[in-house]
C-alpha cells in the first residue's frame, strides 16, 4: 500500500454562465459523436476495401482512427455527464485508469504519427523501393512497436503515480485526471516522481517530434523539385498528415511547455486536445482524400443493397 486515504477525487465545474456550459455540452456532444461515427466509418472502410487494406498508408490510417476513437473516449463521456451535473467525482482506481489510458493512447499516437511520416518519406523519396521496404511484415512490426512503446510509457506513468500517497485535499480543477494536477495533491514530496515522469515523457516526445521534423524537411525538399501530378498528390497527402500533426502536438506544447496560466485556459486547452482534435482527424482525411471518399461511396452502396428490400 502507498498510504493513501483518498478514495475519490472531485472535479470542479467550469466557471461561466449556464449558456456557456450549454455551449460546452453541445460542442462536446457533437465532437464525440463525430469521434465515434467518423473514426468507425474510416476503420470499417479500410478493413472492407481490399485495395486500401493492402496499402500501408491506409493501414496506418485505420490504426490512427482506432487511437482517436480510444483517446476521445477517455474523458468525453464523463465530461458530458459532469457538465450536466455541474461537477463530478471519480474513484481513485478510475483516476489511475484515466491516467493509464490517456498516456498509453497519446504515446502510441506519437509513435504512429512518426511511422506515418516515415511511410510518406519512403513513398516520396524512394518510390522504386517502397513496396520492398514497406512490406506487410515491416508494417506489422512498426505497429507492434508503436503499441508496445505506448503501453510501456502508460504503465510507467501510472506506476509512478500509484506509488504516491494521497491523504487530502482531493479537489482537481479540471474535468479529467491530468497527471500534473493529481501529482500536486500528494501528501509526500513528489519532486522525484515529477522528474521521472518528465524524463519518461521527454524520451517519447522529443525523438518522435524530431523524426517527424526530419522526415518532412526531406519530403518537402524533394517535392519542391516536382511540379507534376505526382508532386501535387504527394503534397496533398502530406498536407493532411501535417495538419493532424499540428493539431496533435500544438495543444501539447501549449499546455506542457509554457509558464503557468489560469486553470480556465488550461481546461479549455485540455478540451481541445481530448475532445476536439480526435473529431477533426477523420474530417481531414475524408474531405481531402479521394481514395477514402471513393471507398466510402462503395461501402455506402453495399449497405444500401444489403439493407433495402429487393424489388422483383
Lookup result for grid cell 481514395 = 291
- Pairing mode of beta strands 88-91, 171-172: unpaired
User: Which grid coordinates are listed for 244?
Assistant: 493532424
146-162 average pLDDT score: 95
Kindly report the pTM of this predicted structure. 0.87
163-178 average pLDDT score: 87
Whether the predicted pLDDT of 248 surpasses 80: yes
* pLDDT at 232 (0 to 100): 61
- CATH for 8-300 is 1.20.1070.10
Q: Which residue has the higher pLDDT, 10 or 301?
A: 10
220-231 average pLDDT score: 66
* pLDDT at 22 (0 to 100): 85
Give me the chain's average pLDDT, please: 84
Which stretch of DSSP H or E encloses residue 11?
strand 8-11
State the Cα–Cα distance between residues 125 and 121, nearest whole angstrom: 6
* pLDDT at 237 (0 to 100): 66
Confidence grade of residue 174 (pLDDT, cut at 50, 70, 90) = confident
Confidence grade of residue 2 (pLDDT, cut at 50, 70, 90) = low
Q: Which residue has the higher pLDDT, 209 or 256?
A: 209
Instruction: Give every CB contact of residue 268 below 8 A, 6+ residues apart in sequence.
Output: none
Instruction: Give every CB contact of residue 203 below 8 A, 6+ residues apart in sequence.
Output: none
Domain boundaries, the chain: 8-300
* pLDDT at 227 (0 to 100): 54
State the Cα–Cα distance between residues 287 and 42, nearest whole angstrom: 12
Q: Are 278 and 69 in contact (CB under 8 A)?
A: yes
Q: Are 66 and 39 in contact (CB under 8 A)?
A: yes
270-289 average pLDDT score: 79
- Among 87-91, 216-220, 254-258, name the one with the lowest average pLDDT: 254-258
As to burial, measured by CB atoms within 10 angstroms (0-12 exposed, 13-18 middle, 19+ buried), residue 312 is exposed
Whether the predicted pLDDT of 312 surpasses 50: no
Confidence grade of residue 160 (pLDDT, cut at 50, 70, 90) = very high
- Among 32-36, 149-153, 166-170, 231-235, name the one with the lowest average pLDDT: 231-235
238-252 average pLDDT score: 80
pLDDT, tens digit, for every residue of 188-219? 888 899 899 989 988 998 999 999 989 988 98
Percentage, residues of the chain above pLDDT 70? 86
Whether the predicted pLDDT of 255 surpasses 80: no
* Strands annotated E in 51-138: 88-91
Handedness of CA 288, 206, 215, 121 (dihedral sign): negative
Amino acid at each position: 500500500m502507498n498510504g493513501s486515504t483518498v478514495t475519490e477525487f472531485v472535479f470542479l465545474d467550469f466557471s461561466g454562465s449556464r449558456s456557456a456550459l450549454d455551449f460546452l455540452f453541445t460542442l462536446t456532444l457533437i465532437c464525440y459523436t463525430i469521434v465515434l461515427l467518423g473514426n468507425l466509418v474510416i476503420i470499417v472502410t479500410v478493413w472492407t476495401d481490399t485495395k486500401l487494406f493492402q496499402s500501408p498508408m491506409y493501414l496506418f490510417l485505420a490504426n490512427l482512427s482506432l487511437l482517436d476513437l480510444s483517446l476521445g473516449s477517455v474523458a468525453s463521456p464523463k465530461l458530458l455527464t459532469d457538465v450536466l451535473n455541474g461537477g463530478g467525482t471519480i474513484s481513485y482506481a478510475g483516476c489511475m485508469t484515466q491516467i493509464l489510458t490517456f498516456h498509453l493512447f497519446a504515446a502510441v499516437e506519437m509513435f504512429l504519427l512518426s511511422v506515418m511520416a516515415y511511410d510518406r518519406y519512403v513513398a516520396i523519396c524512394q518510390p522504386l523501393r517502397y513496396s520492398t521496404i514497406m512490406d506487410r511484415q515491416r508494417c506489422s512490426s512498426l505497429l507492434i512497436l508503436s503499441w508496445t512503446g505506448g503501453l510501456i510509457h502508460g504503465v510507467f506513468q501510472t506506476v509512478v503515480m500509484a506509488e504516491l500517497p494521497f491523504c487530502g485535499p482531493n479537489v482537481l480543477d479540471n474535468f479529467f485526471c491530468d497527471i500534473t494536477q493529481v501529482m500536486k495533491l500528494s501528501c509526500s514530496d513528489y519532486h522525484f516522481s515529477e522528474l521521472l515522469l518528465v524524463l519518461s515523457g521527454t524520451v517519447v516526445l522529443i525523438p518522435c517530434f524530431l523524426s517527424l521534423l526530419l522526415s518532412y524537411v526531406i519530403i518537402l525538399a524533394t517535392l519542391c523539385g516536382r511540379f507534376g501530378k505526382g508532386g501535387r498528390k504527394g503534397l496533398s497527402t502530406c498536407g493532411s498528415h501535417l495538419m493532424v500533426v499540428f493539431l496533435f502536438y500544438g495543444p501539447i506544447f501549449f499546455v506542457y511547455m509554457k509558464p503557468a496560466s489560469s486553470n480556465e485556459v488550461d481546461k479549455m486547452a485540455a478540451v481541445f486536445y481530448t475532445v476536439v482534435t480526435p473529431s477533426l482527424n477523420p474530417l481531414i482525411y475524408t474531405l481531402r482524400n479521394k481514395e477514402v471518399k471513393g471507398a466510402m461511396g462503395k461501402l455506402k452502396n453495399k449497405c444500401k443493397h444489403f439493407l433495402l428490400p429487393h424489388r422483383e
